[in-house]
Each structure stands twice: as structure tokens, then as C-alpha cells.
């Protein structure tokens, strides 16, 4: 390998393809476009759920036996022991292959920072999630992050709100070497589906508890007593999950549930209204994708999106702590002209955001600044 070709290693805790992996893929492609060599480290003991196919054949993959950190204090300790052979193997591999920088995706991916520290090379840590138990962190297990955050050249957050929540949880006023980099969004090419009859309300994403789907389902069912509406949910893992969601309504005719699809364009094209009812979000890509597709968006106000958008302008914000807020917002959206106006403003916002938010340039600038540092302390 010639001296001027940099070698970047990415470490991920899963082989699935979720929002944080989409952002990581954008980063990987930008590194490849610089002419840098890219290797990604994935857990061999977890199932292939789409990430490898999305990577393409030109990206080298290194499989190691490790798992994600987090949970209670005992689990955190046991995971550290379990991951230790992978950390030693990765640090030796880094030295042997003259790696210049390690990038770890999400806060629960610790083998990357631990191996980079042992190999004495720079490390970037991209935290997409919130400091909560759902993402694997209890108050007791956070101590391991308090330790390892000191050994980073950069910790990347995806919103100011998320950064402040982490600072509060870690008990510090300021996280050194922290930087906010807003997520990129992929281009969504859709042609709106023409349909008559019911107004189509929908959601695209995971079906976990944080997404608060029962609130959406119950509210839409209540709406059916006054309006002709239908609810479409995209993202079930399997038939069992579909059956559970369908059991939440008394009239299954008002609800259609579909398994996860990579063809999100067809999902957005089918909708008049997109709803994100989550208890909490960091910087949800689905919101900007739905806006880009020309769909009227209702989204939780427990999100970093409140930093970027205005209520009743580009979208409608709903409060998961006030169940009536979703019903009232949907009532407003039953008016065709109001719904169309919100959708048009949202679509323009998404277009402007794609132009203004220079994620690719920003992330490469961060990589270059770190790679130009001569000594790693």
C-alpha cells in the first residue's frame, strides 16, 4: 500500500440495515471516493440482515466474535470479557495492516475504541442513539462510556438535543472533542399514487415499544367514526409481529400491515399522511424522506427535528405525553388544502436541507483533520 493511501476501519455492532447503518454506508462511500482503503468489522455470531449486500463487493469485511455492550452492570462486565479476544485480535490486525483510523458506529460498539486504543491510532465514535435502557444503557453501565469517551479524537452526535441528553446522563457539562453532524438523507424518487376514497395514513420503521404504535393505531381507529381513513404500517419483522399489531384493532379492515421493505419509495408514494408517534427520537431520517416524497408529516416533538423545523409550517408536531394531540392534528389534516400546504412546505424544506446539509463534505473534513494529526495520545 502506498504511503498516501489511508486505511479506515469501520466497526458495527450488527449486520442489520437500520438508520445508523444507512448513515455509516454514506460515510463508507465517501471514504472510498477519496481513494482510501475501507474495511468493515462485523460480528460473525449475528445473522446477516442486509448490511453485507448494501456494502458491495469492493468493501473488505472482517468477521470477529463480539457483541454489543450495554445493559446492567453485570452484563456490561460479562460482555467486556466475552469481547476481549476480538479486541486483541482486532488490535493486532490493525497494526499488521497499518490502519490509520477506526470509526465505531453507535455507542454500544466498544471493540473499536478498545482496539484503537491498544493499537495507538485515532478513533471516531458516532453516537446515533439516546442514553436510555432501550438502547442498552443503564445508569450503572454508563460508567464504561465515561471511561472510554476520554480516548477519542472525536465523538459525533446527530443533534444538539441528543448531545445535551448524553452530557446530562454522563454527568458532565461538556464532552471533549464532541461535534454535531446532522444526518444525510438519501434521494427518494417517488411518483405519488393516485387513489380515491380513503385518506391514507401511514408509518415506516421498526415496531419496537419506543415507536409508540398503539397510540397511532388507536387514534386512527377513533378517527374512522368520523372520516374515511386507512392506516398502513410498514416494518414488521415477521408474521408474528404482523399478527400482534393487527390484534390491536377491533376492525382489521382499517389497518394494513406489511413486513420491512427496502423499497421505501413505494411506501411513501402510497401515503397522504406520515406519522412518527415515537416516545423519543434523535434525528429520524424517515421524516425527511417522507417530506421529500411529498407526504404531509406529523411527528413527535421528543426529537432533534424540533431544532430544524417549525410546527404548522413544514410539519405538525405531536406530543406523545398528550394523547389528544395526535387526534387533533389528524383532524386538521382531513382538510385537503391544509394537508397539501403542509406537504408542499415539507417537501421544499427537504430539498433545501439536501442542498444545505453538506454531510459528505463535513464528515470527510473531520476525517482529514484527524488523519493530519501526527501523534495519537
Q: What is the predicted pLDDT for the residue at 374?
A: 46
The structural domains of the chain, with segments of one domain joined by +, span: 7-184+357-371, 199-356
Q: What is the predicted pLDDT for the residue at 66?
A: 95
Q: What is the CA radius of gyration of the chain?
A: 22
DSSP result, 292-350: HTT-EEEEESSSGGGGT--BTTTBEEE-TT-THHHHHHHHHHTSHHHHHHHHHHHHHHH
For 199-356, CATH gives: 3.40.50.2000
Three-state DSSP class for 63? strand
Beta bridge partners of 43: 64
Q: What is the predicted pLDDT for the residue at 3?
A: 57
Q: What is the predicted pLDDT for the residue at 50?
A: 82
Report the predicted TM-score, pTM, of the whole model to 2 decimal places.
0.83
Count of H helices and E strands in the chain?
Answer: 13, 13
For 7-184+357-371, CATH gives: 3.40.50.2000
Give the three cell numbers for residue 365.
473534513
* Residue in the structure block whose three cell numbers are 393516485: 194
Q: How far apart are CA 175 and CA 324, in angstroms?
A: 38
Backbone phi, then psi, for 204, in 5-degree steps?
-130, 125
Report the chain (377 residues): mean pLDDT per 10 consecutive residues: 79 90 93 95 85 88 92 86 96 97 95 96 93 70 85 92 90 88 81 80 92 95 95 90 88 86 86 95 90 96 90 95 97 97 95 81 93 61
Q: What is the predicted pLDDT for the residue at 63?
A: 96
Q: How far apart are CA 5 and CA 36, in angstroms?
A: 6
Q: What is the predicted pLDDT for the residue at 218?
A: 94
352 within 8 A of 182, measured Cβ to Cβ? no
Q: What is the predicted pLDDT for the residue at 349?
A: 93
Q: β-strand 255-259 against 101-105: which pairing, if any?
A: unpaired
Amino acid at each position: 500500500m502506498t504511503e498516501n493511501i489511508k486505511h479506515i476501519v469501520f466497526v458495527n455492532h450488527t449486520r442489520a440495515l437500520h438508520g445508523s447503518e444507512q448513515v455509516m454506508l454514506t460515510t463508507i462511500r465517501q471514504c472510498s471516493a477519496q481513494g482510501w482503503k475501507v474495511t468493515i468489522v462485523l460480528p460473525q455470531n449475528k445473522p446477516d440482515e442486509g448490511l453485507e449486500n448494501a456494502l458491495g463487493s469492493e468493501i473488505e469485511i472482517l468477521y470477529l466474535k463480539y457483541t454489543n455492550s450495554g445493559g446492567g452492570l453485570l452484563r456490561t462486565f460479562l460482555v467486556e470479557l466475552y469481547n476481549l479476544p476480538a479486541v486483541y485480535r482486532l488490535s493486532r490486525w490493525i497494526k499488521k495492516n497499518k490502519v490509520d483510523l477506526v470509526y465505531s458506529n453507535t455507542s454500544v460498539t466498544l471493540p473499536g475504541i478498545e482496539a484503537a486504543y491498544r493499537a495507538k491510532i485515532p478513533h471516531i465514535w458516532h453516537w446515533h442513539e439516546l442514553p436510555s435502557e432501550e438502547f442498552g444503557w443503564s445508569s450503572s453501565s454508563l460508567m464504561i462510556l465515561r471511561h472510554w469517551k476520554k480516548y477519542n479524537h472525536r465523538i459525533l452526535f446527530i443533534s444538539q438535543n441528543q448531545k445535551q441528553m448524553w452530557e446530562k446522563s454522563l454527568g458532565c457539562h461538556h464532552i471533549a472533542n464532541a461535534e454535531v453532524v446532522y444526518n444525510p438523507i438519501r434521494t427518494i424518487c417517488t411518483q405519488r399514487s393516485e387513489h380515491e376514497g380513503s385518506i391514507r395514513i401511514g408509518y415506516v420503521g421498526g415496531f419496537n415499544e419506543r415507536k409508540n404504535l398503539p397510540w397511532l393505531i388507536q387514534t386512527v381507529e377513533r378517527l374512522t367514526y368520523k372520516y374515511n381513513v386507512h392506516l398502513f404500517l410498514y416494518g414488521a419483522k415477521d408474521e408474528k409481529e404482523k399478527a400482534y399489531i393487527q390484534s390491536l384493532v377491533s376492525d382489521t379492515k382499517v389497518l394494513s400491515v406489511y413486513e420491512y421493505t427496502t423499497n421505501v419509495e413505494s411506501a411513501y408514494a402510497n401515503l397522504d399522511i406520515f406519522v412518527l408517534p415515537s416516545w423519543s427520537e434523535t434525528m429520524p431520517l424517515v421524516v425527511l424522506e417522507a417530506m421529500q416524497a411529498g407526504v404531509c408529516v406529523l411527528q413527535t416533538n421528543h426529537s432533534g427535528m424540533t431544532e430544524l423545523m417549525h410546527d404548522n409550517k413544514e410539519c405538525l408536531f405531536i406530543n406523545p405525553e398528550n394523547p389528544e394531540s395526535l387526534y387533533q392534528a389528524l383532524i386538521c389534516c382531513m382538510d385537503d388544502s391544509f394537508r397539501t400546504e403542509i406537504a408542499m412546505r415539507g417537501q421544499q424544506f427537504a430539498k433545501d436541507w439536501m442542498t444545505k446539509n453538506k454531510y459528505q463534505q463535513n464528515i470527510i473534513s473531520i476525517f482529514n483533520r484527524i488523519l493530519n494529526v501526527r501523534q495519537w495520545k
